[in-house]
Structure 1
Amino acid sequence: MICSRAEIEKKRQEALEKLAKKGLSPIKSDSKIRNSVTNCANFPISPNIKTPSKVIIHNQKPYERSSERFNGNKVAKGISEFYGANKVNSLTFSLISSEKFSVNMSSYSNAVIDVFKQIPSKNYDSNSRSWFFHIKDYNLIFSKLTLIKSQYNLKIEKLPTFVVSFLQKPTKNCDIDINRLDTELSQTLLPFQLEGLRFGIERNGRCLIADDMGLGKTFQALAIMNYYADDWPLLIVTTASMKHVWEETITKYLTSVPILQVQYMTASKDYIGDAKILIISHDLMSRCCDKLLERNFGCIIIDESHTLKNFKAKITQAATKLAKRAKRIVLLSGTPALSRPSELYSQLSLIDDNFFGSFIEYATRYCNLQKTHFGLDSSGKSNLQELDIILTRKFMIRRTKEDVMKCMPKKTQEIIRLDVKLQNFSETERKSLEVLANRYAATEKSKDKHSLLLTFFSETAKIKIPSVCSYILSMLEKNIKFLVFAHHLIVLNAVEDVLKSKNRKYIRIDGSTTGDQRKYFVDKFQTDDNYICAILSITAANAGITLTAAQIVVFAELHWNPSILSQAEARAHRIGQENPVIIQYLLAHGTADDSIWPLLQSKQDILNEVGLYG
């Protein structure tokens, strides 16, 4: 293409106008630009234009960017950003114990290091490249870093104020007067149970006892409330199946309380005006909340408190109203959180409703709260080490059987692989399982995934029945008492049919079993050697019963909550057990077991981080 002198002049004017609009001025004068035209192979110059004998080059330094000729400030800023002069340096505070915290830097900074070196309790770990400080110096280091924050472009992720202020308070140690307890109760308490009593007294009768199943949480709760008998009446909220356990324990060990002043509420119309101790179910508590509020219970024990995991549920709202009026409240649960940290909030709020603030604040810090298309998602986890420290220091005492019962018989867990291929089921059933497995693996939405898992789980029950029954037959040959846990009725019925066919005595506890029947069945199994097996529903019989006569616990089916399984295991492995206990999980390849088992491991890892799984 050949350009005429007029066209070149027109383009030159357009370029000058563009520079003027951008607020930039050309480096050379108009005459110099005219004389700095060079030849270009792709754009030949018109013959009418004389080629200069010397090509004029702009006054430009070697390797200088073209943009530098127009705006030196902009370029300087770009270079400084590229080389990190204005790069944000994130400082993350993390709690590592009740007395120490660490500060980690995203990038090195001499100014920050100089601040660290001024702190009296400083300690540097060369392996992890982390700085550690005592919690008493938190305010000092934070204030010093705040002074240089803007100058060195620091982003400080500090510890929550409620955590720091709590940990900086001196710990409270008090002497307890054991003579304030009823003699029968005080003489029954084991050393670790006395420690649980002390823990509750040091927290003014507001705490969570989360000891492993079978370690006598009932005795510890009654001891704490017996210590504060002046603040009664006492309300005990429990499951319907535990009514007899509480009644028997109170009658036997709290001899100072007249039997007529211990009542169990069975209907909303029941008169409770004279009750010194009232026992009520969780469901009835939510339905009779106003009536209970009128009674002004000064002390409350809530058994199996994990049932209050949903702070929006009516039962939780009723418990919250009662807890605000009570001076003392003790929560009992061997599994406070069944699978995630969010389930703890409502229980901890019953003990101290001001500590964490709102659920949003709690979930943001400890549940990795996320905004999704379906609303806020609080099913995650974050800062679990910090949460574990706060739980242990303020709210919760937890001991496992291994911690306190050194002479406790050993518990062994085994996985038994069932060979379902040897059983006679149709090819259609096989393909159905494969389709469900593939759909479950491909689904990402948690709601849809859980729905598919339930369907997959139900189909698995049908497939496993022949293999499970075959295994139960082999167990009968050993002539040792054992428990069989299952979830679906068809599996429970199939196991029962096997025992009937062999004329062996057994007990069965499921959702249709009444409280009186449960007690009768448990006593039969515990005292009569002819009863060889207990057929149990995982959801209906995982708590509230003691079956230490058994030495083997067989899980014919799984459950998606590891805490539920742990509770079920503890029916046999608890105080009173004299023999080693073997736990057997019957798993079948190619079924829902392949999906549920890894899910259990993942949930267990989360609970381990918060110190809620033995």
Structure 2
Amino acid sequence: MARSARSEGNTINGASSRSRTAAKSASRRGSKHRSRPGDDAGMIPVLARAVREIEGAAERGKVGPSNRTKFQVIALLMREERAHAKSDPDVSDAERAELLKRLDGVATILAKTAARDTSLIALLAEDAPVSDAARKLRRDMLMASGAELSPDELIIAVEAPTLAPVAEKQVVPKSVISRQLSNPFLAPDFSQPVAAKPATHRLANWELLEPLFRAFEYGSGGNVASMGLPEPSDADRRVPGGLELFHHQAEFVASAREGHRSYLLADEPGLGKTAQALLAASVTNSYPLLVVVPNVVKMNWAREVERWTPNKSATVIHGSGEDLDAYADVVIVNYDVLDRHVGWLRTLGFKGMVVDEAHFIKNRESQRSKHVLALAESIRALRPRALMIALTGTPLINTIEDFRAIWQFLGWIDGEKPTAELMAHLEENGLTPADFGFFAEARQTVIDMGIVRRKKLDVASNLPSKRIADLPVELDDDLGRSIRDAERELGARLRSRYLSLRASRTGAEIGEGHSEELMRMVARAELEESKASKSGDNVFTMLRRIGQAKAVLAADYTAQLARSVGKVVFFAKHIDVMDAAEETLARRGLTTVSIRGDQTAAFRQAQVDAFNNDPQVSVVVASLTAAGVGLNLQAASNVVLAELSWTSAEQTQAIDRVHRIGQAEPVTAWRIIAAQTIDAKIAELIDSKAGLAARALDGSDADIVDASEVQLEALVALLRDALGD
């Protein structure tokens, strides 16, 4: 190895004429980095000597801190030298080829060194933190090369020390190392134009994000939030034999083929968003493509790649990525292991990124959201025209703020304000938030950035109908009686608090009758205590007990359905409810499979396949959280909801595992409701309010309600009953 290094070093150093060429190139960079008179060494020999020192250290054992710093500085200067060599108009083609060849020699030694100590690979990332020591070493190496530095470059300001991010979980699979060896450095794509910053005038000092969010929150008089899409050509409809593409899917593919590159694809669940994303990547040649998904669907994504784009390969990251194929066209990773792989994923040169169930990143402070946003930013930095698609049938769960992280992923905002492209379009509108008509114009401007929302009723009229049927059940056993007792006790507690609060107010403050404001204050205080409490009777523990009480009744009804109409999907929120249901169904002689959150992706996919394909399997008992997104369970046309969700969005997602493209029969969802309990009130609340997405994206004028609002209203209803209203 040492002999090889010396040989390569000779190639790198070259003859004196080559050194003079390097020095001449360095002198052409401009006033900052001119060679000193009489010094014809140039930068490349300095890099060659330094990289051989690191190589020797790696041969002797683990690379120490000082050589790690040197490794990073060499990588930084390599990028600078390569960029100068490619962009300098005064360098002839022959000189440029010679310089790049010598830089490749340095790159080869760097890559081989990184292969010996894989922890060095993280230092190759463009966003790797640069320490004060690294900045000083960079200055010293520039001076050694003969560069003339400005006063600002000569003085290295020492910054206050910051804690480095925890990186114990970071891994670099062997397949990635192999790819790094073949292509250790990724040059920026200068062929893709970067949008110039707009000259802001009217909007320069305006806060814009809140008005943009409100533009969606207020709705738009029945207008669905969907950008205009072109009429698809025959090329856009071309799919592998045996598959069919719906017109709305082909429209999306046509839009990508015509040049659009960022989308919030928010079609209702079941309208084939996965196929649309994969075909858009195909027509735009956005490979390698990164796909970030929930664990429950990552194996299904690999199948869909093979199904819709059989000429492209897919690899799925499991655990530490031992079986990863870093050369695959599509890399699929689930949110749960993203923290272990985010470092090397930035180095793979993706041309596109898809985030499935994008509402998973709504909390921008969560680690998975930060990793997703950082990856998106690194992809755009290298390829400004990368294909970026956020997929979710329910982009808004609780508040309009759920848009923020998705828009940031797509590059429309930086988290706090619009980015250059969106700002330019807003400027073109000629309005400010104080002007009449701003909200409608701003809403449409954001929609035109790439929001695509189609409803089943509009684009898949041949899809069978869907209905929700409630089955009230009486909880007349000991558990049922204890639940009703607990509800009465909770109502009495709320009543006591309300009367105490009312007594502390004057008559002028509360007026005649019961005060709605005071009731909501009491209910809100109870809700906050319930969320913080780990024990005792509260609205959450009562719902769990109601679920336990309904489990056998719901399973019995499921068994009846299975014997009369065929396969059934049984959904529950809690593991003990699922356990009780499976035991009951087994006693009834039915074969079941289970989908839970603690299963591996491969096992879960096997369970789905068994349900869809094995005629002996009658029921799938599924977790609302683990199986409520992404899965195709259309072998059934009947769904039993043994426990209620707090939001209509979660309920809809679960039902649409069955009511989706490929379904040939009308779908019925049977909600098991515990009569004369808070269960029934919650069902009414969910049904009486439209979802946030319906207002923001579908143009509905219905009131908005989120999970916390339903919980609050349920407690207010209990208090009213206790007060005798």
Q: Shorter-normalised TM-score: what interval?
A: 0.5 to 0.7
Aligned twin of 1:395:
450
- The change in CA–CA distance for 1:428 and 1:186 in structure 2 (over 3 A counts) is closer
Gaps of 5+ in 2: 1-201, 204-209, 216-226, 381-385, 419-437, 495-518, 533-537, 701-725
Structure 1 CA distance for aligned equivalents of residues 691 and 297 of structure 2: 30
Secondary structure of residue in 1 paired with 2:347 = helix
Aligned residue identity for 1:443: A
Question: Distance between the aligned counterparts of 1:597 and 1:173, measured in 2?
Answer: 38
Segments of structure 1 that go 5 or more residues without pairing to the other structure are 1-141, 144-157, 164-170, 360-382
Cα deviation, 1:18-57, whole Å, max 9, x if unaligned, reads xxxxxxxxxxxxxxxxxxxxxxxxxxxxxxxxxxxxxxxx
Q: Which amino acid aligns with 1:346?
A: A
Aligned to 2:598: 512
In terms of fraction of residues, the more helix-rich structure is: 2
Equivalent residue number for residue 333 of structure 1:
392
More strand by share: 1
CA 1:431–1:343: 2 relative to 1, 3 Å: same
Look up the match of 1:225. 281
Match of 1:302 in 2: 355
Aligned 1:33-52 pairs, distance under 5 A: none
Q: How many residues end up aligned between the 2 structures?
A: 426
Which of these residues, 457, 462, 487, is aligned with residue 433 of structure 1?
487
Which residue of 533, 539, 557 corresponds with 2:625?
A: 539
Question: 2:402 maps to what in 1?
Answer: 343
**283, 300, 304: which is aligned to 1:249?**
304
Partner of 2:261: 205
Task: Note if contact 2:211-2:439 (Cα within 8 Å) is conserved in structure 1.
Answer: no
Residue pair 2:555, 2:585 contacting (<8 A) in 1 also: no
Q: Supply the distance in 2 between the matched residues of 1:538 and 1:308 (Cα, whole angstroms).
A: 18
Instruction: Describe the shift of the 1:234–1:429 C-alpha distance in structure 2 as closer, same or farther (beyond 3 A).
Output: closer
* Contact map agreement 1:551 1:579 (CA 8 A) in 2: yes
Q: Which residue of the partner structure matches residue 567 of structure 1?
A: 653
Conserved? CA contact 1:434–1:590, under 8 Å: no
Post-superposition CA distance 1:255-293 (Å, at most 9, x none): 332x4xx32222345566433321111122233222111
Match of 1:443 among 497, 503, 523: 523
The one-letter amino acid of 2:486's match is S
Q: C-alpha deviations, 1:121-144, integer Å up to 9, x for none?
A: xxxxxxxxxxxxxxxxxxxxx99x
| 1:424, distance to aligned residue in structure 2 (A) | 3.9
Residue 416 (structure 1) shift: 1.3
Cα distance in 1 for residues equivalent to 2:325 and 2:464? 44
RMSD between aligned residues: 3.6
Which residue of 2 is the match for residue 548 of structure 1? 634
In the alignment, is the contact (CA less than 8 A) between 2:569 and 2:636 conserved in 1? yes
Distance in 1, Cα, partners of 2:684 & 2:278: 39
Is the Cα contact below 8 Å between 1:209 and 1:331 reproduced in 2? Answer: yes
1:235 counterpart (269, 285, 290): 290
Does the 8 Å CA contact 2:295/2:336 hold for their aligned counterparts?
Answer: no
Q: In terms of mean alpha carbon deviation, does 329-338 or 601-610 score higher?
A: 601-610
Contact 2:230 2:251 in 1 (8 A): no
CA deviation vs aligned residue, 1:519-574 (integer Å, no higher than 9, x gap): 22222222333322221111111123222221211111011122111111011111
Q: CA deviation at 1:485?
A: 0.8
**C-alpha separation in 2, matches of 1:613 and 1:239:** 29
SS in structure 2 of the partner of residue 478 of structure 1: helix
Aligned equivalents of 1:288, 1:473: Cα separation in 2: 44
Q: Output aligned runs, 1:562-601, within 5 Å.
A: 562-601=648-687
Of 406, 420, 423, the residue aligned with 2:477 is 423
Letter in 2 for 1:578: A
Q: Which amino acid aligns with 2:390?
A: L
Amino acid aligned to 1:464: K
Which secondary structure state, in structure 1, belongs to the residue aligned with residue 370 of structure 2? helix
Measured in 1, the distance between the counterparts of 2:365 and 2:253 equals 31
Partner of residue 497, structure 1: 583
Letter in 1 for 2:365: K
Provide the residue aligned with 1:279 in structure 2: 332
Change beyond 3 A, Cα 1:542–1:525: same
Query: Aligned with 1:208: secondary structure?
Result: strand
Among 556, 569, 594, the alignment partner of 1:483 is 569
Structure 2 CA distance for aligned equivalents of residues 175 and 607 of structure 1: 26
Cα distance in structure 2, aligned partners of 1:613 and 1:466: 41
Whether contact under 8 Å (1:485, 1:554) holds in the other structure is yes
Q: Distance in 2 between matches of 1:218 and 1:426?
A: 44
Are 2:263 and 2:388, in contact at CA under 8 Å, matched by a contact in 1? yes
Using structure 1 for the length normalisation, give the TM-score: 0.62
Q: Distance in 2 between matches of 1:433 and 1:387?
A: 47
Are the counterparts in 2 of residues 433 and 459 from structure 1 also a CA contact under 8 Å? no
8 Å contact from structure 2 (residues 395, 693) kept in 1:
no
Equivalent residues of 1:510, 1:537 under 8 A apart: yes
C-alpha deviations, 1:353-406, integer Å up to 9, x for none? 4388449xxxxxxxxxxxxxxxxxxxxxxx997886455433311112211111
Cα distance in 2 for residues equivalent to 1:474 and 1:269? 44
Q: CA deviation at 1:182?
A: 7.1
Name the CA shift for 1:498/1:267 in 2 (closer, same or farther; >3 Å). Answer: closer
Taking the aligned partners of 2:492 and 2:539, their CA distance within structure 1 comes to 11
Q: 584-593 or 550-559: which moved more?
A: 584-593
TM-score by length of 2: 0.53
Instruction: Tell me if structure 2 keeps the 8 A contact 1:507–1:525.
Output: yes
Contact 1:542 1:568 in 2 (8 A): yes
Counterpart residue number, 1:322: 375
Residue 182 and residue 595 in structure 1: after superposition, are their counterparts in 2 closer, same or farther (change >3 A)? same
Aligned pairs for 1:130-169 within 5 A: none
Counterpart in the other structure of 2:467: 412
CA distance in 1, matches of 2:442, 2:687: 21
Taking the aligned partners of 2:267 and 2:638, their CA distance within structure 1 comes to: 23
SS across alignment from 2:406: helix
Q: Summarize deviations over 1:426-457 as a string: whole Å, max 9, x none.
A: 75443123223565774214533556432222
C-alpha separation between the residues in 2 aligned to 1:322 and 1:457?
A: 39
Q: Measure the CA separation in 1 of the matches of 2:374 and 2:601.
A: 28
- Structure with the larger RCO, 1 or 2 (CA within 8 Å, 6+ apart): 2
Question: What's the secondary structure of 2:658's corresponding residue?
Answer: coil
SS at match of 1:444: helix
